[in-house]
Copies of this chain bind each other. A is one copy, B any other.
């Protein structure tokens, strides 16, 4: 299926230097994709020239005169920057000129603008941010990762339903298992939010596994782990911090003296295989789920390799028909509840 993806070329730590080559790489490898590069025309054209490329039918430029800063408040970005690269990109999805939008920019602004412009799918109360994390068994989807800091049990149920449709659509996995993140697996454990959410999930027709704990994320106990955005964000950031600390320690130990450096040389292919396997860049690209349109958030520090993964995720979602599937499912639930 032909897919057109709008790319925020200004967002993230590296802007056009990362986003433009990433788009070119995906375009060259996947003949059924086209791109609209959104941002300051000069900067994008300079980057294309540097890469010996030029705009054409499959590679258009859409000028945007403004940029949302990484520390700008979502409300200010929404109200004041009507010509930001995020706003223009989301508008392209709204107008049907693009099938998806990818940005490495300010997460809060991206969510606020997407929600304001695209609106949520029928029946969806709150959009959520879903990301993929590596596990001992493969990978797991975790949501919400920070869009919603105060959730109701109904929100958590909807996150589970939306993400189950995403996994079924993109991975062709029927009835993926859904775990609810808690601080114990016994029924009596947890706060009121998770206890009530568990009741709703049990009655929902979801393939509800029950409670899972933090370590179940990386064990790969369930296909999906649902939690509120505060808890999910802390779990994600804590993981990033721990991984960075361990990587630093490993580097320091292999650089400690001549013997360690020689051992490091001998072990280099093994260490590299380990690094490839745990490379978080291959999991880059979080889905803003529940909107009338596909929006994917890349990590702000993404390099070209990582940003390509975010683009490919947007392409996959656009081809999967996930929006129709979520809409159908929400309608079926509302009908059975009526």
Interface residues of A (CB under 8 A from B): 71, 73, 134-136, 146, 149-150, 181, 183, 186, 188, 190-192, 213-219, 227, 229-231, 233-246, 248-250, 253-254, 256, 259-260, 262-264, 266-267, 269-271, 273-274, 277-278
Supposing A234-B214, A241-B217, A242-B218 touch, asked if A260 and B253 sit within 8 A by C-beta, the answer is no
In the complex, chain B residues whose CB is within 8 Å of the CB of A262: 266
Residue picked from A135, A149, A227, A241, most chain B C-beta under 10 Å: A241
Q: Which residue of B lies closest to A214 (CB)?
A: B237
Q: Name the residue in A73, A150, A267, A271 with the highest tally of chain B Cβ atoms < 10 Å from its Cβ.
A: A267
B231 touching A230, Cβ below 8 Å: yes
Copies, count: 2
Known contacts A214-B236, A218-B241; is A229 also within 8 Å of B269 by CB?
A: no
27 contacts between A and B (CB under 8 A): A73-B188, A136-B244, A149-B183, A149-B190, A149-B191, A150-B191, A150-B192, A183-B237, A214-B233, A214-B235, A214-B241, A215-B238, A217-B238, A217-B242, A218-B238, A218-B241, A218-B244, A219-B244, A231-B234, A242-B242, A242-B243, A249-B278, A250-B274, A253-B271, A253-B277, A260-B269, A267-B270
Which of B231, B241, B256, B267 is close to A264, meaning CB atoms less than 8 Å apart?
A: B267
Closest Cβ neighbor of A257 among chain B residues = B270
Closest beta carbon of chain B to A190's beta carbon, Å:
6
Known: A234-B234, A238-B238. 17 other contacts (CB 8 A): A150-B191, A183-B230, A183-B234, A191-B230, A213-B237, A214-B234, A214-B237, A216-B241, A218-B241, A219-B244, A227-B234, A242-B243, A243-B246, A253-B271, A254-B267, A256-B270, A267-B267
> Given the complex of chains A and B, what is the CA–CA distance between A242 and B142 in angstroms?
14
Q: Are B219 and A241 in contact (CB under 8 A)?
A: yes
Find A135's partner among B149, B217, B245, B278 (CB 8 Å cutoff): B245
Chain B residues within an 8 Å CB radius of A218: 238, 241-242, 244-245
Q: Which residues of B contact A239 (CB under 8 A)?
A: 214, 238-239, 242
- In the complex, which residues of chain B have a beta carbon less than 8 angstroms from the beta carbon of A213? 233-234, 237
Chain B residues positioned under 8 Å from A183 (CB to CB): 146, 149, 229-230, 233-234, 237
Which among A217, A229, A238, A277 has the highest number of chain B CB atoms within 10 Å?
A: A238
